């Protein structure tokens, strides 16, 4: 279908030569520009990728060097300091020397956040570098002049007291604060993990005094079990990644991750902050409630490291449902909180038991938890779910786990319930939910139990596949509490009451948004995972070292991204190897290249547009001559051959084309003239054949054109009103009319000769009057036989019988003479003659011979329907069945031809009486139709010929000379509105020639006066156009014609004045 449409378009659409030349120029230029731009784009893209690859390698090296420097400096510093036992080996009350040494070290290493000393008796000494980061000053509420903060915690009078000192650069004290505290360095991870052999580094956790994430390097002094520690903020690493991104000119959307093989993010240039909810406004509290809050200027809240999505940390930063829930409550109450993380659940629980944590969360309602303190109103309901491998049968009841190994969280409250209610289950305690899912997915345990929301989030976070979820049956679910609470100390009942009150004030919309964000409660949108890389491909690419240090195009979240991955040195405690990933969208990587290409295209298009007028002008040497040649071609088309001229051009092909066009014009002219001569010869040949066909119409086809052409030219030259709209505009129009006049009777070639030449009524191929005469001869003989028979019987009556015989003979002579006279035809047959013919037809004679002998097969076919016995009595004049000759085939006319003449029932009627009783002339109605049919044949013959445009009216002119002005003519029954001047001229020419012709077998030639009288009557009857008739008379054409073709006897005086208006 498309190809057909294109082919049709190709055949119909045409363009000018100038447009073609310009289009070719534009096309060639465009193709060149496209190729050049494509090459430019290809190499620019390649250069952009190589440039980015270079930048990414530089970034990786810089980050690795940065981390390596931190590690080396931290480790070297601690290793050096721990050897100075005079400073760190003893817990002197005066820490001035230690302070000065540590501050000097941090002056040289501004990335060091703080030096800490944890003593075996629980004392703690820390000096904080306020220049290690902007957040340090903000969180510690310092002033611009402050340079150092020193924290010294020790036991005084049985109570732990924190002394905080704010110094300037010269250690001039600006401010000192004292407050009780439960902080014990011996409970900290960095203290517990420290040893005297090598420096230890913790996982990222939340610095208690700063409430920002960091890592601590630590080493134990030999023999004293004191621990020297050095803190470095993780934010510094993230800020360094951000700085590298800016310095190397990376796109603002570039994402940089330092992560481990499990996909956990250690640092990133993306800042994931837990901002305050702007829709939450601080509550208006009562005086009593405000007094309660005054008792708790800061509360300490637990934060687990890995129980997403409820309570977990990302690089030490608290995250999760319960974290945002608590933040919203304290925002409503206006309370300040500090989170404690980096510890296991058991360690956090111990801190709560030792009153070092004010709020522990999230916990379920169990007997054990109720003995520890008071539970808040439920903050969320998390039903438990059983997970197992997808290829295992679904679990519909917990009893199906009997004898199976089932993974559960270490130290979780459901462990005791499961052990008590289902002792046949083999419980395997694992440190976290990720390990639980991994065990199940790998087949290490048959199943696992945890909250469904937690399981789903962790599965999505670490891209764990191949597991299915099974809800607990009702009986089993009733054994466990699914509501999660905040746990407060019993002495903090008023604080718990405030939290419960604030929880009731949380908008439902906020709670729903919180659930949708963390617990996958919105089926149309998955919860956003934080803390791990955004796509599993960043983990799978680590499996093949060939993927490192090069750009990989991957699809992440439906968007093409370039990813660069390179391993870092072993500096992270949470994985054996760290990796730096740089992820930039393909669009951003190539944006600058595309902008340049876009600009290049714009400039190219602008230049192309500016060149269009030039190309338009340059096309003139071709377009001008071509237009001239088009004009010469139009002359040839209009057959103005003599006006065709050549032209000179500097373009060889155009010059050759011009010369060939002149030669072609001459050739066409010669061919046309030969074709015209051939056509004229054929026309004259046809006319001659028609005339030669019958000696009685010889010359008709020659005389009518001569008369018609003279009269048509006179009409064209006439200034009379009737001819104002008719003019011969060219010789071609005259030739067109002339050709039509010559062909006006070409259809007569199909008319049978015996019809055209029918001189008597009984004539067919021969004149049948001879048959009638022979019958009279028979009747003559019969009369004589009857005489002799009667004479033999009565001789005495001879005289009387002789008289009767003579009378009979005379009667026969008279009757035959009458019939012979009727056979000749005339203007009108009388009624008496018709009656006499009818009487004579009934005269009989006896036939003794078989009339079927010697007949042709066609005649035998017509005679086959009759039978008689001999001798047979025959009528003198008979109309027999075989006289009726049917049409050879049904007569039908194409509606397009407009023929309205009705055919006769029979082709011929040869009945003797029928023919003799013809009222006028010698032709029956069948003969008349056959004669008139020559016009139909003319129409059909000429309609099939492919006349050129200049001769397109020939068929029309040639086929209307038997029409009248009132629609009584044939074959189309046209009227005056349908007939043009040339057609009306041919009507008169044909009639006048027929009236004056001396070679018609059925009538005598009319004189001029008789012919004019008849024509005048035809004008009166609206058969002939009056204006044409008057022009025929006034121009003298009738007389010129008469002098050439009429005999002297026909040329008589005509008073034309009586016919002129």
Select the more confidently predicted residue: 59 or 780.
780
122 φ/ψ sector (left φ>0, alpha ψ -120 to 50, else beta): left
Residues 829 and 915 in one domain: yes
Quick check: is 986 in a domain? yes
Task: Output the pLDDT for position 165.
Answer: 93
Distance CA(39)–CA(50), nearest Å, equals: 16
Strand partners, 311: 307
Task: Give residues with Cβ within 8 angstroms of 264, minimum separation 6.
Answer: 531, 532, 574, 575
pTM as predicted: 0.52
For helices 700-717 and 981-996, the axis angle rounded to 10 degrees is 140
Q: Look-up: residue for tokens 């290829």?
A: 391
Angle at 258 between CA 257 and CA 260, to 5 degrees: 120
Phi/psi of residue 125, each to 5°? -130, 130
Predicted confidence band of residue 10 (pLDDT cuts 50, 70, 90): low
Exposed, middle or buried: residue 343 (CB in 10 Å: 0-12, 13-18, 19+)?
Answer: buried
Predicted confidence band of residue 573 (pLDDT cuts 50, 70, 90): very low
Q: Measured between alpha carbons, how far is residue 136 from residues 149, 167, 189, 244 in Å?
A: 10, 14, 22, 22
What does DSSP assign to residue 204? P
Q: Look at strands 884-885 and 306-307 and give their pairing.
A: unpaired
Quick check: is 1009 in a domain? yes
Distance CA(202)–CA(193), nearest Å, equals: 8
Q: Look at strands 405-409 and 426-430 and give their pairing.
A: parallel
**Which helix (H) or strand (E) element contains residue 499?**
helix 493-504
Q: Which of 485-499, 883-897, 927-941, 984-998 has the lowest mean pLDDT?
A: 927-941
- Sign for the CA dihedral angle at 412, 417, 420, 422 comes to negative
In this prediction, residues 601-614 reach a mean pLDDT of 75
Strand partners, 584: 562
Using alpha carbons, select from 457, 415, 462, 472 the residue that is nearest to residue 439: 462
Question: pLDDT for 447-472, tens place per residue?
Answer: 999 988 888 888 888 888 889 999 98
Question: pLDDT for 1023-1041, tens place per residue?
Answer: 999 999 999 889 999 889 9
Task: Output the pLDDT for position 576.
Answer: 44
Residues 912 and 1003 in one domain: no
Distance CA(1027)–CA(981), nearest Å, equals: 10
Q: Look-up: residue for tokens 């039978």?
A: 867
Quick check: is 148 in a domain? no
Q: Look-up: residue for tokens 């977990």?
A: 312
Percent of all residues in the chain with a pLDDT value above 90, rounded to a whole number: 11
Distance CA(111)–CA(125), nearest Å, equals: 19
How many C-alpha atoms does 526 have within 13 Å on its Cβ side?
10
Q: Per-residue DSSP letters for 26-57?
A: HHHHHHHHHHHHHHHHHHHHHHHHHHHHHHHH
Helix, strand, coil share (%) of the chain residues, nearest 5: 50, 15, 35
Quick check: is 243 in a domain? no
Exposed, middle or buried: residue 1043 (CB in 10 Å: 0-12, 13-18, 19+)?
Answer: exposed
Task: Output the pLDDT for position 570.
Answer: 42
Query: Is the Cβ–Cβ distance between 579 and 566 less than 8 Å?
Result: yes
Report residue 919 as tokens: 């009222």
Query: Is the Cβ–Cβ distance between 721 and 1026 less than 8 Å?
Result: no
Residues 798 and 829 in one domain: yes
Task: Output the pLDDT for position 694.
Answer: 60
Whether residue 971 is preceded by a cis peptide bond, meaning omega within 30 degrees of 0, is: yes
Does the pLDDT of residue 350 top 70, yes or no? Answer: yes
Does the pLDDT of residue 13 top 50, yes or no? Answer: yes
Distance CA(652)–CA(1037), nearest Å, equals: 58
Question: pLDDT for 883-917, tens place per residue?
Answer: 888 888 888 888 888 888 888 888 888 888 888 88
In this prediction, residues 559-580 reach a mean pLDDT of 65
Q: How many residues does the chain have?
A: 1061
Distance CA(39)–CA(436), nearest Å, equals: 54
Residues 436 and 490 in one domain: no
Does the pLDDT of residue 549 top 70, yes or no? Answer: yes
Report residue 6 as tokens: 């294109």
Residues 790 and 895 in one domain: yes
Query: Is the Cβ–Cβ distance between 484 and 378 less than 8 Å?
Result: yes
Domain extent for 524:
273-382+482-530
Distance CA(931)–CA(469), nearest Å, equals: 105
Does the pLDDT of residue 866 top 70, yes or no? Answer: no
Task: Give residues with Cβ within 8 angstroms of 239, minimum separation 6.
Answer: 133
Select the more confidently predicted residue: 279 or 196.
196
Query: Is the Cβ–Cβ distance between 581 and 538 less than 8 Å?
Result: yes
Percent of all residues in the chain with a pLDDT value above 70, rounded to a whole number: 90
Q: Which of 53-57, 145-149, 201-205, 415-419 has the lowest mean pLDDT?
A: 53-57
Does the pLDDT of residue 572 top 50, yes or no? Answer: no
Task: Give residues with Cβ within 8 angstroms of 294, minimum separation 6.
Answer: none
| Domain final residue pick, 878, 898, 922 | 922
What does DSSP assign to residue 469? E
Residues 780 and 702 in one domain: no
Residues 971 and 858 in one domain: no
Question: pLDDT for 649-662, tens place per residue?
Answer: 777 777 777 777 77
Q: Look at strands 483-488 and 405-409 and give their pairing.
A: unpaired
Using alpha carbons, select from 232, 354, 247, 238 the residue that is nearest to residue 302: 354
Quick check: is 681 in a domain? no
Question: pLDDT for 957-980, tens place per residue?
Answer: 888 888 899 989 889 898 999 999
Q: Look-up: residue for tokens 């009387």?
A: 800
Predicted confidence band of residue 359 (pLDDT cuts 50, 70, 90): very high
Task: Output the pLDDT for position 1021.
Answer: 92
In this prediction, residues 14-22 reach a mean pLDDT of 69
Residues 375 and 515 in one domain: yes
Predicted confidence band of residue 488 (pLDDT cuts 50, 70, 90): very high
What's CA 863's distance to the chain center, in Å? 77
Distance CA(535)–CA(585), nearest Å, equals: 14
| Domain final residue pick, 922, 956, 971 | 922
What is the SS3 assignment for 174? Answer: strand
Distance CA(317)–CA(106), nearest Å, equals: 25
Question: pLDDT for 204-252, tens place per residue?
Answer: 877 776 667 788 999 998 877 889 899 887 766 777 777 776 665 666 6
| Domain final residue pick, 922, 954, 975 | 922
Select the more confidently predicted residue: 754 or 183.
183
Question: pLDDT for 872-888, tens place per residue?
Answer: 888 888 888 888 888 88
Does the pLDDT of residue 38 top 90, yes or no? Answer: no
Q: Which of 431-445, 546-560, 754-768 has the lowest mean pLDDT?
A: 754-768
Task: Output the pLDDT for position 687.
Answer: 65
Residues 872 and 829 in one domain: yes
Task: Output the pLDDT for position 8.
Answer: 64
**Which helix (H) or strand (E) element contains residue 70?**
helix 17-82
The number of domains in the chain is 4
Does the pLDDT of residue 574 top 50, yes or no? Answer: no
What's CA 970's distance to the chain center, in Å? 59
- Distance in Å from the first CA to the final CA of the chain: 69
446, 449, 453, 459 alpha-carbon torsion, rounded to 10°: -30
Strand partners, 973: none
What does DSSP assign to residue 881? G
Quick check: is 950 in a domain? yes
Task: Give residues with Cβ within 8 angstroms of 83, minimum separation 6.
Answer: none
Quick check: is 609 in a domain? no
Question: pLDDT for 681-727, tens place per residue?
Answer: 766 766 666 666 665 555 777 888 889 899 999 988 998 998 988 99
Question: pLDDT for 89-126, tens place per residue?
Answer: 787 778 888 888 888 888 888 888 898 998 988 899 99
Q: Look at strands 298-302 and 336-340 and give their pairing.
A: parallel
Residues 773 and 727 in one domain: no
Distance CA(597)–CA(45), nearest Å, equals: 10
Question: pLDDT for 970-1012, tens place per residue?
Answer: 898 989 999 999 999 999 999 999 888 877 665 688 898 998 8
Quick check: is 937 in a domain? yes
Task: Output the pLDDT for position 386.
Answer: 92
Angle at 1052 between CA 1047 and CA 1055, to 5 degrees: 145
Distance CA(958)–CA(966), nearest Å, equals: 19
CATH of the domain at 361: 3.40.190.10
Residues 859 and 962 in one domain: no
What is the SS3 assignment for 220? Answer: strand
Q: What is the mean pLDDT of the chain?
A: 82
Query: Is the Cβ–Cβ distance between 1015 and 1060 less than 8 Å?
Result: no
Question: pLDDT for 802-851, tens place per residue?
Answer: 888 888 989 888 888 888 888 887 767 888 888 888 888 888 888 888 77
Residues 880 and 918 in one domain: yes
Question: pLDDT for 587-596, tens place per residue?
Answer: 766 666 667 7
Task: Give residues with Cβ within 8 angstroms of 775, minimum separation 6.
Answer: 845, 874, 876
Distance CA(49)–CA(58), nearest Å, equals: 14
In this prediction, residues 330-339 reach a mean pLDDT of 88
Sheet strands side by side (includes 405-409): 426-430, 405-409, 447-451, 384-389, 467-471
């Amino acid at each position: 279908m498309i190809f057909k449409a294109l082919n049709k378009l190709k055949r119909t659409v045409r363009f000018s030569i100038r447009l073609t030349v310009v289009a070719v120029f534009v096309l060639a230029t465009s193709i060149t520009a496209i190729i050049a731009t494509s090459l430019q784009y290809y190499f620019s893209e390649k250069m952009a990728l190589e440039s980015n690859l270079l930048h990414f390698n530089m970034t990786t090296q810089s980050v690795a060097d940065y981390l390596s420097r931190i590690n080396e400096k931290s480790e070297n510093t601690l290793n050096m300091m721990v050897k100075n036992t005079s400073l760190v080996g003893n817990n002197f009350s005066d820490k001035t020397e230690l302070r000065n040494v540590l501050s000097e070290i941090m002056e040289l290493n501004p990335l060091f956040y703080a030096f800490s000393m944890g003593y075996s008796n629980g004392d703690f000494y820390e000096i904080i570098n306020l220049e290690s980061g902007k957040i340090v000053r903000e969180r510690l509420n310092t002033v611009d002049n402050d340079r150092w903060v020193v924290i010294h915690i020790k036991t005084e009078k049985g109570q732990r007291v924190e002394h905080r000192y704010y110094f300037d650069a010269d250690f001039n004290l600006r401010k000192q604060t004292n407050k009780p505290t439960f902080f014990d360095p011996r409970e900290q991870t960095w203290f517990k993990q420290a040893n005297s052999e090598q420096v230890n580094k913790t996982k990222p956790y939340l610095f208690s005094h700063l409430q920002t994430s960091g890592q601590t390097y630590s080493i134990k002094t030999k023999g004293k079990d004191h621990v020297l520690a050095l803190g470095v903020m993780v934010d510094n690493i993230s800020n360094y990644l951000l700085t590298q991104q800016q310095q190397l000119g990376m796109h603002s959307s570039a994402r940089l991750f330092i992560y481990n093989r499990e996909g956990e993010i250690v640092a990133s240039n993306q800042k994931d902050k837990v901002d305050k909810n702007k829709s939450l406004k601080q509550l208006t509290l009562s005086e009593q409630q405000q007094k309660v809050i005054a008792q708790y200027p800061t509360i300490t809240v637990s934060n687990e490291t890995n129980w997403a999505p409820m309570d977990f940390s990302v690089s030490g930063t608290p995250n999760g449902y319960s974290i945002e829930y608590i933040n919203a409550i304290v925002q409503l109450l206006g309370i300040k909180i500090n989170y404690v993380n980096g510890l296991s659940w058991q360690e956090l629980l111990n801190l709560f038991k030792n009153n070092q944590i004010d709020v522990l969360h999230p916990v379920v309602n169990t007997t054990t938890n109720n003995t520890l303190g008071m539970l808040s109103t439920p903050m969320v309901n998390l039903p438990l779910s059983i997970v197992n491998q997808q290829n295992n049968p679904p679990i519909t009841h917990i009893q199906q786990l009997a004898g199976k190994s089932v993974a559960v969280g270490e130290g979780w409250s459901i462990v005791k319930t499961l052990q008590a209610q289902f002792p046949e289950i083999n419980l395997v305690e694992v440190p976290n939910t990720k390990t639980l899912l991994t065990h199940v997915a790998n087949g290490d345990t048959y199943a696992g139990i945890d909250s469904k929301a937690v399981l789903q989030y962790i599965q999505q976070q670490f891209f764990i596949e191949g597991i299915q979820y099974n809800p607990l049956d009702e009986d089993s679910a009733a054994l466990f509490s699914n509501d999660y609470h905040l746990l407060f100390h019993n002495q903090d009942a008023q604080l718990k009451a405030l939290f419960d009150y604030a929880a009731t004030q949380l908008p439902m919309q906020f709670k729903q948004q919180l659930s949708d964000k963390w617990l996958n409660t919105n089926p149309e949108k998955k919860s956003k995972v934080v803390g791990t890389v955004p796509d599993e491909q960043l983990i799978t690419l680590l499996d093949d070292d060939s993927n490192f240090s090069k750009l990989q195009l991957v699809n992440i979240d439906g968007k093409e991204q370039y990813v660069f991955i390179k391993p870092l040195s072993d500096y992270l405690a949470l994985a054996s190897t760290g990796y730096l990933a740089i992820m930039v969208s393909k669009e951003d990587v190539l944006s600058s290249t595309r902008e340049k290409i876009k600009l290049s295209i714009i400039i190219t298009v602008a230049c192309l547009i500016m060149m269009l007028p030039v190309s338009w002008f340059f096309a003139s040497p071709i377009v001008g001559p071509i237009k001239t040649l088009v004009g010469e071609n139009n002359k040839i088309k209009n057959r103005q051959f003599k006006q065709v001229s050549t032209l000179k051009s500097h373009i060889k092909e155009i010059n050759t084309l011009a010369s060939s066009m002149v030669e072609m014009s001459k050739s066409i002219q010669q061919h046309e003239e030969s074709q015209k001569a051939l056509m004229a010869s054929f026309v004259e040949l046809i006319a001659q054949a028609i005339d030669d066909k019958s000696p009685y119409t010889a010359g008709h086809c020659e005389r009518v054109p001569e008369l018609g052409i003279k009269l048509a030219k006179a009409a064209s030259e006439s200034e009379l009103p009737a001819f104002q709209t008719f003019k011969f505009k060219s010789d071609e129009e005259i030739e067109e009319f002339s050709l039509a006049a010559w062909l006006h009777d070409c259809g007569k070639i199909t008319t049978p000769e015996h019809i055209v030449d029918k001189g008597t009524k009984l004539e067919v191929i021969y004149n049948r009057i001879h048959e009638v005469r022979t019958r009279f001869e028979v009747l003559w003989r019969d009369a004589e036989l009857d005489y002799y028979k009667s004479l033999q019987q009565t001789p005495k009556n001879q005289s009387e019988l002789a008289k009767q015989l003579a009378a009979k003979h005379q009667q026969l002579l008279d009757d035959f003479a009458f019939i012979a006279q009727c056979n000749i035809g005339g203007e009108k047959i009388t009624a008496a003659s018709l009656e006499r013919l009818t009487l004579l037809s009934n005269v009989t004679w006896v036939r003794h011979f078989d009339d079927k002998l010697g007949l042709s097969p066609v005649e035998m076919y017509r005679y086959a329907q009759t039978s008689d016995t001999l001798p047979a009595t025959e009528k003198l004049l008979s109309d027999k069945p075989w006289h009726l000759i049917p049409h050879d085939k049904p007569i039908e006319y194409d509606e397009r031809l407009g023929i309205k003449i009705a055919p006769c029932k029979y082709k011929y009627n040869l009945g003797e009486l029928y023919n003799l009783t013809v009222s006028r002339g010698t032709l029956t109605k069948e003969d008349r139709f056959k004669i008139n049919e020559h016009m139909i044949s003319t129409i059909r013959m000429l309609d099939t010929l492919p006349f050129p445009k200049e001769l397109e009216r020939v068929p029309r002119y040639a086929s209307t000379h038997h029409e009248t002005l009132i629609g009584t003519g044939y074959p189309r029954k046209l009227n005056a509105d349908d007939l043009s001047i040339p057609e009306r001229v041919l009507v008169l020419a044909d009639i006048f020639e027929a009236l004056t012709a001396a070679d018609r077998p059925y009538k005598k030639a009319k004189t001029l006066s008789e012919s004019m009288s008849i024509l005048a009557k035809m004008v009166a009857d609206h058969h002939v156009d009056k204006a044409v008739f008057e022009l025929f008379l006034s121009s003298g054409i009738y007389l010129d014609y008469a002098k050439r073709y009429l005999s002297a006897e026909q040329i008589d005086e005509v008073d034309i004045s009586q016919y002129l208006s």
